[in-house]
Amino acid sequence: MEPARRPGERDLYCRALIAGGFLASYALLSSPSQHALLNVEGVIALSFLALLYARGASESLRENRADVLRPALAMAIVAAVISLAFAPILRSPFLYDDYTHITDASRHTWSVAARQFGPVAGRGLFFRPFGFFLYWLNYLWARANPAWWHVSSVLLHLACCFLTYVLCRELRLSRPASLAGAFLLGLNGVSAETVAWIDARFDLMTTLLILSSLIFVCRYASTAKYGWLAGALAAGACAILSKESGFCLPFLIASLGMFHDRKDWNRFLQAAGFAGVLAIALFAYRWWALGGIGGYGDAAGEASILNVNVLHTLDALFVREWAILFFPFNWSAPASPILRAALAATPLLLAVCAWKAAPAHRPFIGCLLFVIAAGLPVQHLLLLSPALSGSRALYLGSVGWALLWAVVLDSMAPKPRIVVACLLLLLEGSILEHNLTVWRATAELAQSVCADFGRVAAGIQGPIIVGGLPDARMGAVFLKNGFPQCVEMNSGVPADRIQVRDSGAADFIWSGTHGGIEKAN
């Protein structure tokens, strides 16, 4: 039985389909402005969410418990498909900050790792002592072999997918819906930057630890055993000390209470309260260690997170974030006509899904709150462009997006659920491969540029100044950071002979026309 149609649904369908028409014209015929494209994607995403809520109910209208696949088989399928999707990046070289951090890791010892937990000299940018400790442990077996580093990134990503499946099951979703959630997290296009760029593993590690913490909280809510709560707080502390996005943990815990009966809410709120106290204590610890709030700075040298603009924050959390999660497509890279046609048809798929689904309101709202909460610590970084540069900031939020789809699919009848899930997975997998192509090509080009320049630098005596190196290429980080170490690894020329400048006199400069480094006039 389909849910009754509610007032305003027709208007929502019309808005979504009109916006879908614009998206189709952009995908097939023209190249719109960045603002117009993201606005259209945002309208489609928000209209879809509004339709799902309008079509939903206070309680689930269906019981989908056709748990055919055993968990071990389900996880084996997830591992095989996602590993195949990311297999091409195993041949990719290092890129950008990879060269710097891996060179630094080669000099670490146990005492250096311990000092990471103490104060930094001057005012530091980031305080990620546990994250860098795990980075160093990874170096101990991967060394300077990019293939092994990529293997570890894929394994971390797979672990996040497995834990998403477990979290879905803890939230009482069926196995098929939980499997779909794990798949969609694994194949979402925003994971391209997070997995393909080795230095983005901080997001992978933090997400893995936060998922572990959330699963422990669910166990605590079900059993009232404080051992689970202690485990949740320990994993949460490690997440916060791996990357700043972990500070959203108290809000994530609170959002999961929406999936459970009211009798369990007190335990979720209690866990959120303990996590809040932990976050405050670790924030004070971070402030002491960095000598301030830290983080990226603006042109004036002030911390960018302090430049609060209410309109920008609202746009980031309630429009841009949803637009990119539902359309994680790198528009700056050329795509096949078939993929562009699939993108043009996506609004129609979402409309059909909204027509067939009837998600229960409380879990649905819990998913929305999860995504918004995950974006709070990084809201100043979420005004992304259609090239998706910086999309790693959305990786934790993509867990909430995957949970949302699991809730939606769990509310559908078996046949439409299978059709919609298969189409979604095919679309997301195609978008992911499109995005990964850019990262593979950019890493190979950067390696080639460094090797070529090394051969030139080998014949020059003394220090060399290089200027104007590009920061990104089609949304992927490129040459500006880690260039001296890149040259050393790929040619043997010592990194300390090479200086990089953004402006001023230089011996060599980047030529955008020729796509290489040339001697300055």
For 465, the 3-state DSSP assignment is strand
Work out the burial of residue 284: count CB atoms within 10 Å of its CB; fewer than 13 is exposed, 13-18 middle, 19 or more buried: exposed
Phi, psi (deg, nearest 5) at residue 519? -70, 135
What is the per-residue pLDDT for 1?
46
Residue 325: pLDDT band with limits 50, 70, 90: very high
What pLDDT does residue 148 have?
95
Please provide the average confidence, as pLDDT, over all residues in the chain.
88
Q: How large is the average pLDDT for residues 440-451?
A: 95
Q: Taking 50 as the threshold, does the pLDDT of residue 337 lie above it?
A: yes
- pTM for this entry: 0.93
Distance in angstroms (rounded) separating the CA atoms of residues 44 and 350: 9
Q: Pairing mode, if any, of strands 476-477 and 472-473? A: antiparallel
Q: What is residue 64's predicted lDDT score, i.e. its pLDDT?
A: 52
Phi then psi for residue 385, to 5 deg, are -95, 170
How far is Cα of residue 426 from the mean position of the Cα atoms in its chain? 20
pLDDT tens digits along 106-122: 888 888 888 888 887 65
Using DSSP, state whether 432 is helix, strand or coil. helix
Residue 194 contacts residue 203 (beta carbons within 8 Å): yes
Residue 351: pLDDT band (50, 70, 90) is: confident
Model pLDDT for residues 5-42, shown as the tens digit of each residue: 555 666 666 766 676 676 777 776 766 677 778 888 88
User: 329's torsion region: left (phi>0), alpha (psi -120 to 50) or beta?
Assistant: beta
Alpha carbon distance 137, 142 (integer Å): 9
**What span, in angstroms and rounded, lies between the C-alpha atoms of 55 and 361?**
10
Using the predicted structure, report yes or no on whether residue 60 has a pLDDT greater than 60.
Answer: no
**Per-residue b/e over 426-444, b at no fewer than 16 CB within 10 Å?**
ebbbbbbbbbbbbbbebbe
More confident: 489 or 260: 489
Residues 420 and 415: their CA atoms lie apart, in Å, by 9
pLDDT, mean of residues 384-392? 91
The model's confidence at residue 134, banded by pLDDT at 50, 70 and 90, is very high
Spatial distance between the Cα atoms of 337 and 408, rounded to a whole number of angstroms: 29
Residue 3 has pLDDT above 60, yes or no: no
What pLDDT score does 462 carry?
Answer: 87
- Among candidate residues 192, 194, 277, 204, the one with its CA nearest the CA of residue 242: 204
Strands 472-473 and 508-511 come out as unpaired
For 7-18, letters b (16+ CB in 10 Å) and e give eebeebbebbee
Cα separation of 217 and 170, whole Å? Answer: 10
pLDDT exceeds 80 at position 477: yes
Q: Give dist(CA 118, CA 29) in Å, integer.
A: 55
Q: Of 158-172, 300-314, 362-376, which gets the smallest average pLDDT?
A: 300-314
Helix (H, G, I), strand (E, B) or coil at 84: helix
Q: Is 519 helix (H, G, I), strand (E, B) or coil?
A: strand
Residues of the chain with pLDDT > 90, as a percent, come to: 57
Task: Count Cβ atoms within 10 A of the Cβ of residue 293 and give its class: 0-12 exposed, 13-18 middle, 19 or more buried.
Answer: middle
- Reply yes or no on whether the pLDDT at 451 is more than 70: yes
360 pLDDT more than 70: yes
Report d(CA 264, CA 483) in Å as an integer. Answer: 53
What are φ and ψ of residue 498, in 5° steps?
-115, 130
Domain boundaries, the chain: 9-296+303-386+397-436, 460-519
Residue type, 292: G
Which whole number is the average pLDDT over 455-460? Answer: 91
Angle of helix 146-170 versus helix 97-105 axis, rounded to 10: 100
Read off the pLDDT of residues 404-444 as tens digits, 9 standing for 90 and up.
Answer: 999 999 998 888 889 999 999 999 999 999 999 999 999 99
> Would you give the end-to-end CA distance of the chain in angstroms?
75
Q: pLDDT (tens digit, 9 = 90+) per residue, 68-108?
A: 567 788 888 889 999 999 999 999 999 999 999 998 888 88
pLDDT at residue 190 is higher than 90: yes
pLDDT at 291: 83
- Across the strands, what pairs with 511? 516
Alpha helices in 5-70 (DSSP H): 9-28, 34-55
Query: Under a CB-based contact definition with an 8 Å cutoff, are residues 508 and 520 in contact?
Result: yes
Q: Is the pLDDT of residue 395 over 70?
A: yes
Is residue 321 predicted with pLDDT exceeding 90?
Answer: yes
Would you say residue 254 has pLDDT above 50?
A: yes
Question: Quick one: what percent of the chain has pLDDT higher than 70?
Answer: 90
Q: What is the mean pLDDT of residues 56-74?
A: 64
Measured CA to CA, the distance from residue 179 to residue 158 in angstroms comes to 13
Instruction: Find the mean pLDDT for residues 301-308.
Output: 68
How many Å apart are CA 486 and CA 500, to the nearest integer?
12
For residue 315 the two structure tokens come to 């746009």
298 confidence band (pLDDT: 50, 70, 90) = low
